[in-house]
Amino acid sequence: MEEFLKNISLFKNLNDEQLSQISQILKPVNYKAGEIIVIEGQKGDTMYIFKKGKVQISHQLTLKIGSHHWEEGEKSMAILDAEKISFFGEMSLVTGSPRSATIKALSECELYEISKKDFEKLAEKRPDIGYKIMKEIAATLSHRIEGLNENILKLTTALSIALSKKKK
């Protein structure tokens, strides 16, 4: 198990003994293609480590259809692959807040689940492990926010251009 965990970016700064401690709080879970792993808006208190598989991330959107009609829709935002992304659901591990997206298995998925309760218990007992993992989670979230900021700037620019053309 420790050899597998060494390849997970979240655990890259942990030594073998620390990885052994982490392996004790990992719960293996499997999902078949088409199964929902997490649902947007539900309370979240687990993070997932990818061992194998591919998942789709989608968000609920409200779209205007016609001049007075609004409709809910689901938009696929990303596909995560175990070969490229090693974990997901980290915001729920940190905050326990509702899930920000729905995640569905696109293929058979082998995952390891870490509960917020188990992680906090380990981090209290072993602050050295908790610190290193939280530092990696913070770096990951910061990187994702940078990407989102770029996307917001592009969307704002596109909207501004579209609105200026409409006024003419």
Q: Which domains does the chain have, with CATH numbers?
A: 2-167 (2.60.120.10)
Q: Which residue has the tokens 């499997």?
A: 30
Task: Considering only residues 107 and 144, tell me which one the structure prediction assigns the higher pLDDT.
Answer: 107
Q: Which residues contact 96 (CB under 8 A, 6 or more apart)?
A: 43, 44, 45, 116
Q: Which residues contact 134 (CB under 8 A, 6 or more apart)?
A: 94, 123
CA 16 to chain CA centroid, nearest Å = 25
- Round to whole Å and give the CA distance between 43 and 97: 6
Q: State the pLDDT at residue 68.
A: 64
By mean pLDDT, which of 60-74, 123-137, 148-162 is the weakest? 60-74
> Highest mean pLDDT: which of 68-72, 85-89, 95-99, 113-117?
113-117
Q: What number is the average pLDDT over the span 63-90?
A: 69
pLDDT in tens, 6-65: 889 899 999 999 999 999 999 999 999 999 999 998 998 999 999 999 999 887 765 556
Handedness of CA 81, 82, 85, 91 (dihedral sign): positive
Task: Considering only residues 139 and 1, tell me which one the structure prediction assigns the higher pLDDT.
Answer: 139
Structure tokens belonging to residue 112: 């390891």
Q: State the pLDDT at residue 65.
A: 60
